[in-house]
């Protein structure tokens, strides 16, 4: 490949009709454009499959990592698998569509400002990004219940066969860490994860109690330990670009229609990861 762009988006939430219409209109600018989809495509397997099929038909290549919404066992979904079993079902669906998942070899992108290795990460959260005053997971959860800010994951995102969501997170972190450490340090990585790898983006959340569902302290230095060209994430529905320790972090969410009405954005929906945008 000689041209093309590496683009990213997340939180398409296509169960919302307006979002589905937006996704129908997403187009690459060139035949060589790749698209990173950093989770929260939808809740129902039928909606996830519809969106990823549509995108895989249009872009030269699509890479996906799950958000928390894909992992819900929603009562309306004909697929009632839970936890790891649901995740593996989605991975097989993606493979059938030619979409790369966190379970596949990290693909090399050879376009402008490349080569880079695309690492889709599935790391979840472990209740360590706690609100001020909470020393433990139990205290953080109690504060969230008291504030009335409890993530729906508590009821629909099952960790089976892991005992808890945080245990699932720790297992994912350990396995992923080994994989990243084995990557050739001569080729920079683009790390994509639904949840931010560092705490700072959660510090602007309206409800600090929600941060416990937004990542883990265990990844706080990954952008320094592993040679990282850029980090792509979503989940917060606060699209922005930040630099931490000189590394570019892109929050690439579309989010809910009501959020866009409240905070209209002039940013392009598909965020350009590479070639690096001017000024970044």
| Residues at the site binding Fe ion, with contacts judged by CB under 5 A | 11, 40, 67-68, 235
Nearer to Fe ion by Cβ, of 199 and 235: the residue is: 235
Edge-first strand listing for the sheet containing 34-37: 61-64, 34-37, 6-9, 271-274
Compute the least distance from the CB of residue 236 to Fe ion, in Å.
8
DSSP E strand boundaries for the chain: 6-9, 34-37, 61-64, 107-109, 116-121, 189-193, 228-233, 240-244, 247-251, 271-274
Which of residues 32 and 209 has its CB atom nearest to Fe ion in the complex?
209
Toward Fe ion, which CB reaches closer, 113 or 259?
A: 259
CB of 112 to Fe ion, least distance (A): 30
Least distance to Fe ion, CB of residue 260, Å: 13
Nearer to Fe ion among residue 67 and residue 201 (C-beta): 67
Q: Shortest distance, CB of residue 124 to Fe ion, whole angstroms?
A: 11
Query: Which residues pair with residue 109 across a beta bridge?
Result: 116
Report in angstroms how near the CB of residue 251 gets to Fe ion at its nearest. Answer: 11
Write out the H or E segment, with its range, that includes residue 23.
helix 17-24
In the bound state with Fe ion, the residue whose beta carbon lies nearer, of 4 and 67, is 67
Buried b (16+ CB within 10 A) or exposed e, 64-76: bbbbbbbbbbbee
């Amino acid at each position: 490949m000689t041209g093309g762009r590496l683009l990213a988006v997340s939180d398409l939430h296509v169960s919302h009709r307006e979002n589905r219409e937006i996704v129908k209109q997403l187009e690459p600018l060139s035949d060589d454009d790749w698209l990173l989809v950093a989770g929260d495509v939808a809740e129902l397997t039928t909606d996830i499959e519809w969106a990823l099929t549509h995108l895989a038909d249009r872009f030269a290549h699509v890479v996906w990592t799950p958000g928390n919404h894909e992992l819900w066992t929603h009562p309306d979904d004909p697929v009632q698998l839970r936890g790891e079993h649901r995740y593996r079902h989605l991975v097989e669906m993606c493979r059938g569509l030619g979409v790369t998942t966190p379970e596949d070899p990290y693909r090399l992108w050879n376009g402008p400002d490349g080569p880079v290795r695309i690492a889709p990460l599935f790391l979840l959260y472990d209740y360590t990004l706690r609100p001020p005053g909470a020393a433990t997971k139990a205290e953080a959860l109690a504060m969230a219940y008291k504030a009335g800010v409890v993530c729906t994951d508590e009821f629909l995102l099952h960790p089976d066969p892991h005992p808890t969501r945080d245990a699932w997170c720790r297992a994912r972190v350990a396995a992923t860490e080994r994989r990243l450490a084995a990557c050739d340090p001569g080729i920079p990585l683009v790390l994509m994860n639904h949840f931010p790898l560092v705490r700072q983006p959660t510090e602007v959340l309206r409800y600090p109690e929600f941060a416990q569902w937004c990542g883990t302290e265990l990844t706080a230095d990954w952008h320094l330990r592993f040679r990282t060209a850029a980090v792509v994430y979503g989940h917060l529905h606060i699209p922005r670009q930040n630099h931490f320790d000189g590394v570019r972090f892109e929050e690439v969410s579309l989010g809910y229609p009501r959020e866009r009405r409240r905070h209209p954005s002039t940013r392009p929906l598909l965020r350009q990861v590479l070639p690096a945008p001017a000024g970044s």
